[in-house]
């Protein structure tokens, strides 16, 4: 079945200038033409979006669908099966926010991805990391100071591991559990009880073994990396994306640029730790609030440096730290940090698709790509914040199927 969307303004996600009055034509789930003169093929179903800005569905390269903004007590009282139910709900909320694809940075099991792929529940296309590899006492070690481990009992492999053989086995286990990419913590972090963001995690030989196993399986590695040395070890070890990147320096930025390493900044993550603590102090441990406040200025400085030097940046939020569905605030923070609105949109479409290795499917509105389409009642190039207003997201389409339409899409 052929469908034609008559667009007011078309932003194709490549960074090219917007086009007025074009028509986006797709057959089933795949884009077959973009008619600049606005002609719709004879017999096509026509969607009138002439008052909308039409752009690719957005992509978030760092979410945790399995995580909620819960305090310690609620986490301890939640069985894993209920976490799965919440993850499916988070997927729907994320699609409602205009995100048609996400890369999950650990905590989401394969069954959630399969349920979404089978259409049992609405949600974005998902690439999962399953469980994040972490050293003993590192960012992923959830043993609390009293000795209790708050990690839920689940099908997620145990990935607090040490030594080359330990990390090698864990890497193979997460790949067996369905990981699309391997997630590793090469530094400490904000939300963990036992370490500091400035602490290095894993040695270069451990990182080398993880990268080797990922490449052997045709996969990539994403690194939670906040400390400068942890970032350097990850970049030099051949990791494909630096998540958070709080303490970048000029040397590592130049190396990232030279190698084409991705930077996924997650600028909103420390902001949400502080906001949650201000709203409900019991939802965030005091150590996490202290660490979030301490890293914020350095984080913003690192982002500005990376933008200025032309590092490849893909949008990501660490949602799960903040509420699911609030993802689009990150674009506002990226613009505040020195990007143009168009650069922020490209980071959230074309670049994010490349980083998540789904660019053959999505990320731009071009012939041969899937019809993942967002229709916005407003101009995000004039005010990027319009993307945060769900009432202004008038058309949300994934694989040519309308999840939401206020513009009369045939059912």
Point out the residues that are catalytic.
Answer: 183, 318
Host H or E run for residue 117: helix 110-117
Give the Cα separation of 386 and 331 in Å (integer): 10
C-beta separation of 234 from 225 below 8 A: yes
Dihedral through CA 55, CA 57, CA 61, CA 66, nearest 10? 150
Give the Cα separation of 54 and 83 in Å (integer): 34
Give whole-number Cα distances, 22 to 19, 30, 253, 381, 410, in Å: 6, 17, 39, 17, 20
Q: Which range of residues in 118-126, 226-234, 318-326, 331-339 is near Zn ion by CB under 5 A?
A: 318-326
- Residue 318 sits in the site that holds Zn ion (CB under 5 A): yes
Structure tokens at 217: 């399986």
Tell me, by CB under 5 A, how many residues bind Zn ion.
2
Binding mask 214-253 for Zn ion (x = CB under 5 A): ----------------------------------------
Which of residues 105 and 221 has its CB atom nearest to Zn ion in the complex? 105
**Shortest distance, CB of residue 105 to Zn ion, whole angstroms?**
4
Q: Which range of residues in 109-117, 313-321, 367-375, 385-393 is near Zn ion by CB under 5 A?
A: 313-321
Q: Could you tell me if residue 270 is left (phi over 0), alpha (psi between -120 and 50 degrees) or otherwise beta?
A: alpha
**Shortest distance, CB of residue 151 to Zn ion, whole angstroms?**
15
**Shortest distance, CB of residue 314 to Zn ion, whole angstroms?**
14
Give the Cα separation of 14 and 369 in Å (integer): 13
> What are the backbone dihedrals phi and psi of residue 84, each rounded to the nearest 5 degrees, phi first?
-65, -45
Give the Cα separation of 352 and 344 in Å (integer): 10
Q: Which range of residues in 206-214, 215-223, 315-323, 336-344 is near Zn ion by CB under 5 A?
A: 315-323
Structure tokens at 69: 């903004």
Give the Cα separation of 38 and 14 in Å (integer): 20
Which of residues 134 and 394 has its CB atom nearest to Zn ion in the complex? 134
Question: Which residue, chain included where needed, has tokens 């694989």?
Answer: 399
**Shortest distance, CB of residue 225 to Zn ion, whole angstroms?**
11
Binding mask 92-121 for Zn ion (x = CB under 5 A): -------------x----------------
**Shortest distance, CB of residue 297 to Zn ion, whole angstroms?**
20
Pick the closest to residue 57 from 323, 315, 406 (CA basis): 315
- Residue 330 sits in the site that holds Zn ion (CB under 5 A): no
Which of residues 9 and 348 has its CB atom nearest to Zn ion in the complex? 348
Which of residues 226 and 364 has its CB atom nearest to Zn ion in the complex? 226
- Residue 63 sits in the site that holds Zn ion (CB under 5 A): no
Which of residues 105 and 256 has its CB atom nearest to Zn ion in the complex? 105
Which of residues 105 and 345 has its CB atom nearest to Zn ion in the complex? 105
**Shortest distance, CB of residue 184 to Zn ion, whole angstroms?**
12
Note the residues at the interface with Zn ion (CB under 5 A).
105, 318
């Amino acid at each position: 079945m052929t469908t034609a969307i008559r667009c007011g303004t078309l932003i194709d996600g490549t960074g090219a200038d917007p086009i007025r009055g074009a028509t986006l034509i797709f057959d089933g789930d795949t884009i077959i033409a973009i008619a600049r003169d606005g002609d719709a093929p004879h017999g096509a179903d026509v969607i009138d979006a002439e008052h909308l800005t039409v752009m690719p569905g957005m992509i978030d390269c760092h979410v945790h669908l399995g995580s909620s903004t819960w305090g310690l007590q609620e986490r301890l009282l939640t069985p894993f099966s209920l976490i799965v139910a919440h993850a499916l709900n988070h997927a729907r909320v994320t699609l409602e926010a205009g995100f048609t694809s996400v890369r999950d940075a650990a905590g989401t099991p394969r069954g959630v991805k399969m349920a979404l792929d089978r259409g049992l529940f609405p949600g974005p296309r998902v690439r999962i990391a399953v469980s994040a590899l972490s050293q003993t006492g590192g960012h992923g070690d959830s043993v609390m100071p009293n000795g209790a481990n708050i990690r839920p009992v689940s099908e997620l492999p145990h990935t607090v591991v040490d030594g080359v053989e330990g990390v090698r086995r864990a890497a193979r286990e997460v790949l067996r559990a369905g990981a699309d990419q391997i997630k590793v913590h090469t530094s400490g972090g904000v939300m963990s009880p036992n370490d500091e963001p400035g602490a290095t995690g894993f040695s270069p030989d451990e990182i080398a073994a993880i990268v080797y196993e990922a490449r052997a399986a045709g996969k990539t590695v994403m690194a939670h990396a906040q400390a400068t040395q942890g970032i350097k070890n990850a970049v030099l070890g051949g990791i494909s994306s630096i998540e958070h990147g709080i303490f970048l320096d000029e040397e590592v930025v130049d190396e990232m640029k030279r190698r084409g390493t991705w930077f996924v900044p997650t600028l909103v993550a420390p902001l949400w730790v502080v906001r949650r603590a201000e709203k409900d102090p019991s939802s965030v441990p005091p150590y996490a609030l202290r660490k979030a406040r301490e890293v914020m200025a350095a984080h913003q400085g690192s982002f500005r440096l990376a933008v200025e030097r032309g590092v490849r940046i893909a949008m990501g939020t660490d949602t799960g730290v903040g509420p699911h569905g609030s993802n689009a605030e990150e674009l506002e923070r990226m613009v505040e940090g020195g990007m143009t609105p168009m650069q922020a949109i490209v980071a959230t479409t074309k670049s994010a698709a490349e980083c998540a290795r789904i660019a053959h499917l999505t990320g731009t509105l071009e012939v041969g790509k899937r019809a993942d389409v967002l229709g916005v009642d407003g101009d995000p190039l004039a005010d990027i914040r319009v993307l945060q207003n769900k009432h202004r997201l008038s058309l949300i389409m994934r694989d040519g199927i309308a999840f939401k339409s206020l513009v009369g899409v045939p059912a």
